[in-house]
Chains A and B, each alone.
Chain A
C-alpha cells in the first residue's frame, strides 16, 4: 500500500464535506396541541386527535385536532355568518387592508414559518425560507391590492363574491397553497373554510395565530384539520358555494363527481407529468441546473415538476453524464440544515409510492441510476434517481411519481418533441430549453399545458396564472385570472342582437 492510498482510505476531504449549519428551532413557540380554528378561536375537534411528525426524524411535533362532520358544520356556519354579517358588508378597501396586514405579519414571522414548514414537511430550509414563505407574503400583498379594484378584473362591472369557499390543500407546499387559496378568496369578498393536509397542518396553525394578530374578523377564515373524510365533509357541505382543491387527479375526479349538479363553482389543480424539452442548442449549463430544479426541487413533490426529460438525441449522453455529475453534488439530509439540497420525503406512504413506481420502472426495462449519497437512519428518504432508456409507454413516463425521480426520453425533431410532450392525459406544465427564441415561441404554441417555462423551470409569482389543461384540472390561480375563480360576473351589458331573441 502506498502512502497515497493510505491518505485516500483515511478519507480525503471532499468539497462536499461541510460542517452542519442547522437553522435554530428556537424561533418556534409550538404548542403541544392545536385545536381547530373556528370563528376566530382555537377549539378542540370532536374527532380523535392525530399527531404530526417530522418526516426527517419521525419524531412527534404536536398533536392536532381532527374535525368530524359536526366540526365542519360549525366551521361552515361560522364562515356563513361572517360572510353575511361582516365580510360581504366590508368595503373592498378594508378587505384589502386586512390582507396587507396579513402579508406584513407573514414577513415579520417569516423565519418562524420557514422553520415550522421545514420541520413538518421535510423540505430544505433554503426552499421554505427563500421560496415558500416569501411567495406567501407576496401572494397576500398582490391580492390585497385587488380587493378594491375588482371592477378591473375582466368580469364586467361590479362582479359578485360567491359566498363560502371550501378549500382543500396538499402537503407539498402547505403554507403556499394556503396562501394561493385564501388570498384571492378574501380579496374577492368570500369567506373560507380550509383544510390543510393531514401530514402538514403545522404552518396553518401558526397562520391562524397571524390572523388573530391581524384582527381579521372572526369566522372569515376557518381552518379544519383532519384527513380525507374531513375534506370530503367540507367539499360536500350543502352550504358552501365554491370548492377549490389542489391535489391528485384521482381525488379531483371524485370531487368533480360529488359536486355535479350542486351548482358549486369548482376549481381543481391536479396532477401533472410535465415534459422538459431540451434542444441541442440549449444553454447547457443553465439547462442542467434547470432540469435539476425542475424535478429535484422540493424532493419532486411538485405537481408541475419536470418529470419527463425530453432530450434531443444527439446531446442525450452529454446531458445525462452532466446530470449525474451534478446530482452527485446534491446534499441530502436534515431539512433544517442550510446546506441541504434534498430534504425528506413527506410521508411513509409517499415514500412507498415512489419506491413502488421506481421498481416498476426498472422491471419495465428502464435503466436506473441513483445518486450515491448517505441516507439518514431515521425518517423517509429517497436519493435523486434518473431513469434512462424509458419508453413512452412505461408507467414512470406516464404516471405522476411525485418524488425525486426523472425519466429521460429522447427526440429527433421538434415535431417529435411536441408529440411526445403532449402524449399524456395531463397538461399542467412544460419546459423548453433552446437558444433560439423563434423556436421557443413556436414550440410553446403547440404544447398543451397551462404553464410553460422557457429556459427556466418552476417559477411562481402571484401575478402569473397557474393551472392545467385536460386532466390537470380547471381554473387558474394567480394573477387577474385567479380572481375569476372566486367571483361571479354580474353580466356584461347584453349586445343589441339579443333583442327579439325570444320568440
Chain B
C-alpha cells in the first residue's frame, strides 16, 4: 500500500516568521503541464509594507555584525542548502519541469554562489574602499557601507532558485536587508529557501520573501519611502520604467532588468553600498 504524502503549506516569510498573506489570498502553483502543486500566498500591499518594516528593523543588527560573522552566516546557508539538496532538486523538477541533471546543476550552482558571496563579506571593504592621499594634515578613508533596505524583483524567466539566490546574496554581503518578490510561477523553492534561512542564523527580517504577483507588489515597493534600493532584475515583463520613475521620488538606487540570471560579481555587492569618506584631523605633535 502506498503511503499518503503530507504536502507542505507554503506561506510568506516576513520578519523571520511564516505568515499567510494578511489578505487571505492564495494562488495556485502548478507544474508546467498544469497539475496542482500548492496554493501559494498571494502577497498584498500590506504584506509588502510589513516586510519593509521588518527589513528596516533588521538593518541595524545585520549591518552592525562583523564581516566575519556575516560571512559565516552566509556560508551556513550553503551548508544547510547542501543538506537539503534532494528536496530542492525535486521541487525544481516539479515547478520548472526540469530534468534531474538540470535541477541538480541549478541547486549546486546556487549553493556555490552562497559560498562565493560568503567569502566577500569580510573583504569587499578592502576592494571597494580606499585610503585617500589628500593634501593636508588629514587621515582620509573611504569605506563602503550598506545602503539599507533593498527591494528586489527576483528573475522571472527561469532558474527560480538560482535567480533568487543571485539577487539576494550580493545584497546581503555588505549588511543590507532585503524584501524580495519571488518567481511568480515557480515560487516554491523560494519559500523552501526561507526555511533554510530561518535555520541558518540569518536574523529574522534580514530576508523577507513575498510570493504572488510582481506586477501587483513591485509598485508599492518602488514607491515605499523607507526602501533605499530597488533591484529590477526580474522586472523586464513589468512596467519597469514606471517603477524606476516611482523610485526616483526618494532617489532610490536602481538596478535595471536583466536577461536570465546575474552571474556572481563583486559589482552586485558594491552597487548596494554607499561610500563614506571620513576626514580625521591630525594633531600637531
- Tell me the A residues contacting B by CB distance below 8 Å: 138, 154, 249, 252-253, 256-257, 260-261, 263, 268, 270, 425, 427, 437, 440, 444, 447-456, 459, 461, 463-467, 469-471, 473-474, 476, 479-481, 489, 491-492, 494-503
| Nearest chain A CB to B69 CB, angstrom units | 16
Q: Given the complex, which residues of A lie within 8 Å of B274, measured CB to CB?
A: 427, 448, 450, 469
CB proximity to A under 8 Å, residues B220-262: 228, 240-241, 244-245, 247-251, 253-254, 256, 260-261
Q: Which of B50-58, B83-91, B105-113, B177-185 has 4 or more CB atoms under 8 Å from chain A?
A: B105-113
Q: Are A502 and B159 in contact (CB under 8 A)?
A: yes
Supposing A497-B112, A502-B159 touch, asked if A261 and B264 sit within 8 A by C-beta, the answer is: no
Is B9 an interface residue, CB under 8 A from the partner? Answer: no
Is B26 an interface residue, CB under 8 A from the partner? Answer: no
Supposing A465-B130, A474-B251, A497-B113 touch, asked if A503 and B279 sit within 8 A by C-beta, the answer is: no
Q: Given the complex, which residues of B lie within 8 Å of A252, measured CB to CB?
A: 251
Q: Are B263 and A494 in contact (CB under 8 A)?
A: yes
Q: Are B277 and A451 in contact (CB under 8 A)?
A: yes
* 8 Å CB contact of B134 from A257, A449, A463, A473: A463
| Nearest chain A CB to B36 CB, angstrom units | 23
* 8 Å CB contact of B281 from A456, A473, A500, A502: A456
Is B80 an interface residue, CB under 8 A from the partner? Answer: no
Per the bound structure, the CA–CA distance linking A425 and B106 in Å amounts to 41
Q: Given the complex, which residues of A lie within 8 Å of B158, measured CB to CB?
A: 502-503
Q: Given the complex, which residues of B lie within 8 Å of A249, measured CB to CB?
A: 251
Q: Given the complex, which residues of B lie within 8 Å of A261, measured CB to CB?
A: 240-241, 244
Per the bound structure, the CA–CA distance linking A314 and B125 in Å amounts to 38
* 8 Å CB contact of B280 from A154, A454, A463: A454
Q: Are B264 and A256 in contact (CB under 8 A)?
A: no
| Nearest chain A CB to B267 CB, angstrom units | 6
Is B142 an interface residue, CB under 8 A from the partner? Answer: yes
Supposing A450-B276, A463-B133 touch, asked if A473 and B264 sit within 8 A by C-beta, the answer is: no
A-B contact list, 27 entries, CB within 8 Å? A138-B135, A253-B248, A256-B247, A257-B248, A260-B244, A261-B241, A444-B278, A447-B276, A448-B274, A451-B276, A451-B278, A459-B136, A459-B138, A459-B279, A461-B135, A461-B136, A461-B140, A463-B133, A463-B135, A463-B140, A469-B147, A479-B142, A481-B130, A498-B263, A500-B105, A502-B261, A503-B106
How many contacts between A and B, using CB within 8 angstroms? 145
| Nearest chain A CB to B252 CB, angstrom units | 9
Per the bound structure, the CA–CA distance linking A263 and B135 in Å amounts to 37
Q: Are B275 and A471 in contact (CB under 8 A)?
A: no
Supposing A461-B135, A498-B264 touch, asked if A452 and B251 sit within 8 A by C-beta, the answer is: no
Q: Are B278 and A495 in contact (CB under 8 A)?
A: no
CB proximity to A under 8 Å, residues B94-125: 96, 98, 102, 105-106, 108-109, 112-113, 115-116
Q: Given the complex, which residues of B lie within 8 Å of A253, measured CB to CB?
A: 248-249, 251
| Nearest chain B CB to A357 CB, angstrom units | 22
Q: Are A471 and B106 in contact (CB under 8 A)?
A: no
Per the bound structure, the CA–CA distance linking A450 and B128 in Å amounts to 14
Q: Are A270 and B251 in contact (CB under 8 A)?
A: yes
Is B266 an interface residue, CB under 8 A from the partner? Answer: yes
| Nearest chain A CB to B168 CB, angstrom units | 15
Supposing A463-B134, A465-B142, A470-B228 touch, asked if A500 and B277 sit within 8 A by C-beta, the answer is: no
Q: Given the complex, which residues of B lie within 8 Å of A449, measured CB to CB?
A: 276
* 8 Å CB contact of A464 from B105, B115, B132: B132
Q: Are B138 and A456 in contact (CB under 8 A)?
A: yes
* 8 Å CB contact of B275 from A256, A257, A481: A481
- Tell me the B residues contacting A by CB distance below 8 Å: 96, 98, 102, 105-106, 108-109, 112-113, 115-116, 127-128, 130, 132-136, 138, 140, 142, 147, 158-159, 162, 228, 240-241, 244-245, 247-251, 253-254, 256, 260-261, 263-267, 274-281
Please name 19 further chain A to chain B contacts, defined as beta carbons within 8 Å, in addition to the given A464-B140, A471-B251, sorted by A numbering. Answer: A252-B251, A256-B247, A260-B241, A260-B245, A261-B244, A440-B280, A454-B279, A454-B281, A461-B134, A465-B277, A469-B274, A470-B250, A473-B251, A474-B251, A480-B130, A481-B130, A502-B261, A503-B106, A503-B159
Q: Are A425 and B142 in contact (CB under 8 A)?
A: no
Q: Are B162 and A501 in contact (CB under 8 A)?
A: yes
Query: Quick one: which of B112, B116, B158 has the most chain A CB within 10 A?
Result: B112
Q: Are A503 and B105 in contact (CB under 8 A)?
A: yes
* 8 Å CB contact of A452 from B113, B115, B279: B279
Q: Are B275 and A465 in contact (CB under 8 A)?
A: yes
* 8 Å CB contact of B159 from A461, A464, A499, A501: A501
Chain A residue at minimal CB-CB distance from B113: A497
Per the bound structure, the CA–CA distance linking A476 and B158 in Å amounts to 35
Q: Given the complex, which residues of A lie within 8 Å of B279, measured CB to CB?
A: 451-454, 456, 459, 464
Query: Quick one: which of A461, A463, A464, A495 has the most chain B CB within 10 A?
Result: A464
* 8 Å CB contact of B116 from A260, A440, A448, A497: A497
* 8 Å CB contact of B277 from A257, A437, A455, A464: A464
Q: Are A459 and B134 in contact (CB under 8 A)?
A: yes
Chain B residue at minimal CB-CB distance from A457: B279
Q: Are B263 and A501 in contact (CB under 8 A)?
A: yes
Q: Given the complex, which residues of B lie within 8 Å of A467, measured CB to CB?
A: 275
Q: Are B248 and A260 in contact (CB under 8 A)?
A: yes
Per the bound structure, the CA–CA distance linking A252 and B279 in Å amounts to 27
| Nearest chain A CB to B97 CB, angstrom units | 10
| Nearest chain B CB to A251 CB, angstrom units | 12
Per the bound structure, the CA–CA distance linking A496 and B112 in Å amounts to 9
Per the bound structure, the CA–CA distance linking A494 and B138 in Å amounts to 38
Q: Given the complex, which residues of A lie within 8 Å of B162, measured CB to CB?
A: 501
Chain A residue at minimal CB-CB distance from B102: A503
Chain A residue at minimal CB-CB distance from B133: A463
Q: Given the complex, which residues of A lie within 8 Å of B240, measured CB to CB?
A: 261
Q: Given the complex, which residues of B lie within 8 Å of A260, measured CB to CB?
A: 241, 244-245, 248, 254
| Nearest chain A CB to B228 CB, angstrom units | 7
Q: Are B245 and A425 in contact (CB under 8 A)?
A: no
Q: Given the complex, which residues of A lie within 8 Å of B130, measured CB to CB?
A: 465, 479-481
Q: Are B132 and A495 in contact (CB under 8 A)?
A: no
* 8 Å CB contact of A470 from B113, B247, B249, B251: B251
